[in-house]
């Protein structure tokens, strides 16, 4: 397989906000990717900056061994690449998908003679090409294909390989995003509680940030307990205490006229863990509640 450290040896399909940001970064770094987009005007705009606009997806794929795809969703990937010859290609698919979608797409690509790498982008378009912003991409699938093209892929954002299972980039991506939305839910609830009181959001903000930072220990603590299956040693805030205290959280929400719908599922999970065996679980912390989530 051709090494892609030279300047014009790859193609990109999809020039939405993300594909455009990727292309601009590659152009700034001196690459001249071949690009294609369903709406041609976006490719023409980038051609003025040094990209090579291909008239069709098939021609963009035919142009180079490395084909990067950044489309809306897996269905659009399927429709754009339908009937396109992928023999001998390295397909790097940065389109957000589920792990099952990614595994199916990997098998689909391999049946067509391509090596497949899936990517989960942990960045917004404004973070692309800005190393200090901390954005990166999870990759999984063919390590050999990733290693062949690492120099090109490292230009727009950091490369983090998370294994040969093509579903694992998507799984890491969704795990982090899901945790983020849980955090957003708690923050939203906190602001709703104080809304309309003589507590300015800007005054609550640093307190919230500080508290959430202090609670960051829970990430590593839970990992250790899930690994050891020891949910009790060294517990400082017992599940029994936390379940009792959760009534205060719910009553405060009611007093403040706030819908507790964002936090009550987690409080309920703690209660169910405790009630399933109070003697066994009362002295745990909340890490064991994870086990109740798995269906």
Which residues bind to ligand NDP, rule: CB under 6 A?
14-19, 37-39, 42, 70-73, 76, 79-80, 95-96, 121, 124-125
| Least distance to ligand NDP, CB of residue 37, Å | 5
Nearer to ligand NDP, 72 or 130 (CB): 72
- Token code pair at residue 266: 């987690």
- Identify the CA nearest to 97 among candidates 87, 108, 86: 108
- Token code pair at residue 290: 């994870």
Residue whose Cβ sits closest to ligand NDP? 16
| Least distance to ligand NDP, CB of residue 146, Å | 18
Nearer to ligand NDP, 174 or 267 (CB): 174
Query: What is the DSSP secondary-structure string of 98-158?
Result: -HHHHHHHHHHHHHTT-EEEEEEEES-GGGTT-GGG--EEEEEE-HHHHHHHHHHHTTTSE
Q: Which residues pair with 97 in a beta bridge?
A: none
| Least distance to ligand NDP, CB of residue 25, Å | 14
- Token code pair at residue 80: 């754009």
Cα→Cα distances 147→26, 64, 112, 151, 153, Å: 18, 17, 21, 8, 10
Strands 115-122 and 136-141 turn out to be antiparallel
| Least distance to ligand NDP, CB of residue 95, Å | 4
φ/ψ of 248, rounded to 5, equals: -65, -40
Nearer to ligand NDP, 152 or 157 (CB): 157
| Least distance to ligand NDP, CB of residue 135, Å | 9
Nearer to ligand NDP, 73 or 224 (CB): 73
| Least distance to ligand NDP, CB of residue 154, Å | 17
Nearer to ligand NDP, 35 or 263 (CB): 35
Nearer to ligand NDP, 156 or 288 (CB): 156
Give the relative orientation of helices 168-194 and 201-214 as an angle to the nearest 10 degrees: 140
């Amino acid at each position: 397989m051709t090494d892609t450290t030279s300047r014009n040896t790859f193609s990109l399909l999809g020039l939405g906000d993300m594909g455009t940001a990727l292309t601009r970064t590659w152009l700034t770094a001196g690459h001249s990717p071949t690009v294609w987009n369903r709406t041609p005007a976006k490719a023409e705009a980038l051609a003025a900056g040094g990209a090579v606009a291909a008239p069709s997806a098939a021609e963009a794929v035919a142009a180079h061994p490395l084909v990067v795809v950044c489309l809306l969703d897996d269905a659009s990937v399927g429709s754009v690449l339908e009937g396109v010859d992928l023999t001998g290609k390295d397909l790097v698919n940065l389109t957000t998908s589920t792990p099952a979608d990614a595994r199916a797409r990997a098998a689909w690509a391999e049946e067509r003679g391509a090596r497949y790498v899936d990517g989960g982008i942990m960045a917004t378009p404004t973070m692309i090409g800005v190393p200090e912003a901390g954005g990166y991409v999870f990759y999984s699938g063919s390590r050999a294909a990733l290693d062949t093209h690492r120099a090109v892929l490292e230009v727009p954002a950091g490369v983090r390989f998370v294994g040969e299972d093509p579903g694992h980039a998507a799984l890491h991506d969704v795990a982090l995003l899901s945790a983020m939305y849980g955090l957003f839910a708690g923050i939203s609830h906190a602001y709703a509680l104080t809304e309309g009181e003589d507590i300015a959001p800007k005054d609550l903000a640093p307190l919230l940030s500080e508290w959430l930072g202090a609670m960051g220990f829970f990430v590593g603590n839970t990992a250790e307990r899930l690994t050891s299956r020891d949910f009790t040693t060294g517990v400082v805030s017992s599940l029994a205490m936390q379940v009792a205290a959760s009534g205060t959280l719910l009553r405060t929400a009611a007093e403040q006229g706030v819908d507790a719908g964002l936090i009550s599922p987690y409080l309920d999970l703690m209660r169910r863990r405790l009630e399933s065996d109070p003697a066994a679980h009362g002295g745990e912390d909340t890490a064991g509640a994870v086990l109740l989530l798995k269906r």
